[in-house]
A = this chain, B = another copy of it.
Amino acid sequence: MARESAEATRIMVAVNQSSIKGYPHASISSRTAFEWAVTKLVRSNVTGFRLLFVHAQVPDEDAFEDMDSIYASPEDFKNMKERDKIRGLHLLEYFVERSHQYGIPCEAWIRKGDPKEVICNEVKTVHPDLLVVGSRGLGPFQRVFVGTVSEFCVKHVECPVITIKRRPDEIPQDPIDD
């Protein structure tokens, strides 16, 4: 018999929003990574695993688009922050609900900052058994300009990492999206 250690295997899943559909839609690569972990690793053993969803929220540079940037008041800033927070929560809600549908225990939280640094820091603090990150599977030319969070994590994170690439039939017109 395989050992069943007392503690569940804790899989951290880094999730982000869609660049095509906007908040609170989950990106294709996040969803692919999540569904892969459930289908291939957790399978029917739902009590043996615990999913930890981390969403790194990049302070939104375009947040002023729909308000008058010259006359922005402190109140505007407060509203903006509030709105960001709600959008992030809606994104996490998607994954938490999916987990509950599968019956897999989970936790979810938001951290502000550069996704690469956020994920590395969270791994240092939380010590998951495994980190799962989605990847857009960009070619070397695209990677130079865009940078990839998954590559950075594989190099710098202190736990085993699985990178899940999008399926070829799910890649959007511009591969840099999602």
Contacts and interface: CB of A to CB of B under 8 A. Distances in A.
A162 B164 contact: no
B103 A1 contact: yes
A137 to B, nearest CB: 11
Chain A interface mostly: mixed
Specify how many copies of this chain sit in the oligomer.
Answer: 2
Given A9-B41, A40-B129, A2 B160 contact: no
A42 interface: yes
Contacts of A36: 160
A102 B3 CA distance: 7
Interface string A1-26: 11111000100000000000000000
Contacts of A42: 2
A39 B49 CA distance: 12
A103 B2 contact: yes
A3 B2 CA distance: 21
Interface in A25-63: 36, 38-46, 48
Given A3-B43, A5-B39, A160-B165, 9 more contacts: A2-B38, A2-B43, A2-B46, A2-B104, A3-B44, A4-B44, A36-B160, A154-B154, A160-B164
Interface of A: 1-5, 9, 36, 38-46, 48, 102-104, 129-130, 154, 160-165
The 8 residue pairs across chains A and B that have the minimum distance between CB atoms: A4-B44, A45-B45, A2-B102, A43-B48, A9-B40, A160-B162, A40-B129, A2-B46
